[in-house]
Structure 1
């Protein structure tokens, strides 16, 4: 029987998702051991979780680096479950793709192997729909958990490769241990939702830029979105739910273009959305600008391509409907405004 006082290792606890997973676990009574690459951030993380309503008396920290072997056995010792949320995420891809790929793959290998060695009953790994939807030449059907990104396919970015190769590494290790039932993978869409600190990170930066009027036109990038609170709940549910054991689960709402995100902001945020763009950038112009703008170039794989995902999988895991993209967008904007980040 699961005891709510059981300890859960949460890697990358200072991240957007890691913080929300820790918050969800603490709210349910679990003890959380959060990993940090920089231990000087511990007080800030504790404070942000306390401000969000968590009882942080059951929160401790440990140092871990995705690229270093030391500390993993100590971090997982005594943990009944492992939540591996740590992975590098950027909007602009690095010149050397291995700057993303190596820590993602190495960190996942270390987390899964250390968790299995320590006897963790379930290891939940954060992957992405990027490990499912990339590199295909046709998108004529609904993408499911059976689909995998073709890492050598067209327009596959370093981030997409990093998530795909890291998830494949997790499954390979679990199979080698004969322990696939002890692994569960969550594949979320683009995460929005309330911030836990004053750093917008990468997830909320597009909403921030829209509200600040920094994007006069919007390219027709079509992405799937999901509220981070649903993704964190999916992670916690996957620790114990038999329906998650040995499976990957897509957790996202449908894909919509950026211009619809802008419309949600104007509909929901009133005067605060006065600077939100109203014009769609022609795709020929987006392709031309992408020759000089690296962040736009890295998003070209989502230009004019409407992918369909198994949006029912996340609802089935949680046993309820997901929060809407509209609510996730508003929560992001409200959070940015409350923290005076726009």
Structure 2
């Protein structure tokens, strides 16, 4: 795939109401820093599960890109939208976390960390003119790496608790000043044309493939992409030889799907989209450390988001 053109002939994508709110709230605090994300950094997102952040290596098919292509095309055919009637809400429940880290003595070898987690619920009214309502619940961390990580988490959580509120609030969507607003209705639905469209953007720093993958991730995780565009995005990814199946069966927020991944150019991490091939449901995304650092082992999930969409009659927990 060729490098993207630098002329701003087309509009870049917004991250969507949910993504903008998540990124604004989950930025690292003080000594917290991100590990090994590289050009695929998503902003701070990932799920609240105490289990298992170390991923077993998968055997890998003979032609992983061809298998990913087949799976994504199957998912595209199954993609559908929930129906939200007048007076109802589309509820987007996002369980999210990122790996907060610090170094005990300034050396990478002494890096420790924990998963900083929360649950966000966004209620989008059927009325397009009404603003979404959002609630956030902070979750006590349960996943730690290294001696001293629990004390580090306790200090961090105390600061967060002093500033946090989980009261419902109306979401005011602020455009990303660094990226022009994109009209999703004008994006091509033909997979090849859509891929060309995505390649032409310099969405963020990094290679053309990384830019395309990151662009697709941000669109999907907004939770508001209609099924026709979601299907086209799956099929556009299927045209990329660098996109491969990294796990046939993986669990994210208690739901099982197939992980479709792309490694960073430096090989330090990989970003994965989790999709249910039978239903076309976008389950979530995660970033996985390939090498590890300090007390953070290779195969650790650095951050991830799990998204569930449902239709409800009222705003409630």
TM-score range, shorter chain: under 0.3
More strand, by proportion: 2
TM-score (normalised: structure 2): 0.23
